[in-house]
Amino acid sequence: MSTRQLIERELDALPEPLQQEVYDFACFLRRRAQEERFDGLLLSESALSKDWNAPEEDAAWKSL
């Protein structure tokens, strides 16, 4: 029996409120896995910092 089938069997035996908790947990796991795979902001920070930390950039944003 596959893991999916085992999960479905257990899920079918749970009352609706607990099924909702299982669903919420599965969504949490999926989001966490996606965040761990790619964090574009952190990856681009070092490349963009060359432009961000330039004196011309400071002057351009000084009035804000």
The structural domain count of the chain equals 1
Averaged pLDDT of the chain:
86
pLDDT at 45: 76
CB atoms within 10 A of CB 22: 13
Specify the 3-state DSSP secondary structure of 14.
Answer: coil
Structural domain including 44 reads 3-61
Percentage, residues of the chain above pLDDT 70:
91
**Least-confidence region, from 34-38, 51-55, 60-64:** 34-38
C-alpha span between 52 and 50 (Å, rounded): 6
**pLDDT tens by residue, 12-24:** 999 999 999 999 9
**pLDDT tens by residue, 42-52:** 667 777 777 77
